[in-house]
Amino acid sequence: MSKLRIVILGSTGSIGTQTLDVARRHPDKLEVVGLAAHSSIDAVIAQAHEFKVRHIAFGNEALVNDARLANAHGGVSVGFGQEGLLDLVRMDGVDMVVNALVGAAGMRASYETLACGKRLALANKESLVVAGDLIMPLATKVDAQLAAAQSALDESCVSVGETTGRAAGMVDAPGMHGALMPIDSEHGAIYQCLMGERAAEVTALWVTASGGPFRGKTRDQLAGMTAKQALAHPTWHMGPKITIDSSTLMNKGLEVIEAHHLFNMSYDRIKVVVQPQSAIHSMVEFSDGSVKAHLGTTDMRIPIQYALSYPDRWDAPVDPLDFTKLGSLEFYPADTDTFRCLALARHAGGVGGTLPCAMNAANEVAVAAFLRDACGYLDIDACVEHVMERHEAQGVQVVESLDQLAEVDAWARAEARDYLKTHKR
């Protein structure tokens, strides 16, 4: 079997480094052919040396004359800015792009990956939250191409009395041919629970939440919370932005919107439940009352590896969950009165169009301000709500292009910054 050739965008972040760990464990199955980060020159060069990567890029164009780039081994191509990142995506000899870029910057890379007919392993939430209306049609097109190629391969193997060993016995379902694989514990869990099932028989998707470090707190108690406290997640080790989003439940709101796009599911059938142990990563409910739940160790290398290995399963990158030590499993409703970002995200998704773009941009600005102690914790949802209200008052637009979304994003960021200057607690 030939190796899967992958490009990793965001290779120095949490998802990127864990993806490289999976590649380290499976050198016979994976070949890293491209690496990109925003500014971490030393780390990317070290990764390029280890994995013998000849193509790297940096989102920060100001690094073009940085002397440290001389440490890259001979023959390495180095790109800069958005075009540098996209050049990695467009390269010949790339089978899959792992998009672990943080924020709206990852959208165009996701779009370009699928537009080039390549598979996308997606850890960038904003790609679907903001541009799902543009990206999912591309994913469907690539999925159809993969299905056709698999069908032709199966027929060829049958004619000579062989089997491919891939996708055998599976009930065909839209989106199940691997064009867009979510690198996310919740959506990866739902994806696996849907395998072999008929979409018409799915009645609900249950997205689980840990509840974050502030579960059970009141609004008054949240008012004085610091970034250090918000970053102390009880079960997952993630980057700072997504950890703050987890504490506000915005992360769960983003996942609801993602699930809507990924699984073509109406919002009234996407439910959120708090599961503090983070042992159940998500569930799917069916018309006969059955519920499938995906359980596993809280380690992101599991969904990362599955996205890369699909439809196969490779040896586990971590120790399996020990059910004898798990203890009890608790479930609670999500407190949307206290953690208002979840309700705001649901509203944005329900309205659709460009409102999720405005919501996401405002959240990014507010979270960044909170992390540098430039606003209070409750300013985050207040800022998001203000920008959403302003955008709805001006008129939500149908999503038509990435350039249009970039304009809405820029407007929302400016509106959010202005709000925080005058209204922060």
- Identify the pLDDT of residue 8: 98
- Identify the pLDDT of residue 380: 97
Quote the CA–CA distance of 220 and 355 in Å, as a whole number. 29
Quote the CA–CA distance of 124 and 127 in Å, as a whole number. 6
Q: What is the pLDDT of residues 386-399, one digit of tens each?
A: 999 999 999 999 99
Res 103 pLDDT > 80: no
Q: What is the mean pLDDT of the chain?
A: 91
Q: What is the pLDDT of residues 157-167, one digit of tens each?
A: 655 555 444 44
Quote the CA–CA distance of 295 and 322 in Å, as a whole number. 11
- Identify the pLDDT of residue 1: 67
pTM of the model: 0.92
Domain ranges of the chain: 4-144, 184-350, 352-424
**Residue 172 — very low, low, confident or very high, per pLDDT cuts 50/70/90?**
very low
Quote the CA–CA distance of 423 and 425 in Å, as a whole number. 6
Return binding residues for Mn(2+). Answer: 184, 186, 255
- Identify the pLDDT of residue 33: 98
Over the range 215-225, which residues count as b (16 or more CB within 10 Å of their CB) and which as e?
A: bebeeeebeeb
- Identify the pLDDT of residue 47: 97
Return binding residues. Answer: 12-15, 124-126, 184-186, 210, 233, 239, 246, 251-252, 255
Contacts of 281 (CB under 8 A, 6+ apart): 185, 186, 188, 189, 208, 294, 295, 296, 303
Res 375 pLDDT > 90: yes
- Sheet of 270-274, strand order: 291-295, 280-286, 202-209, 270-274, 332-333
Q: What is the pLDDT of residues 303-349, one digit of tens each?
A: 999 999 999 999 988 888 888 888 889 999 999 999 999 999 999 99
Return binding residues for 1-deoxy-D-xylulose 5-phosphate. Answer: 125, 185-186, 210, 233, 246, 251-252, 255
Res 355 pLDDT > 60: yes
CATH number (3.30.465.10, 1.10.3720.10, 1.10.1740.10, 3.40.50.720) of 352-424 reads: 1.10.1740.10
Return binding residues for NADPH. Answer: 12-15, 124, 126, 239
Mean pLDDT of 404-416: 97
| CATH class, range 4-144 | alpha beta
Quote the CA–CA distance of 186 and 207 in Å, as a whole number. 6
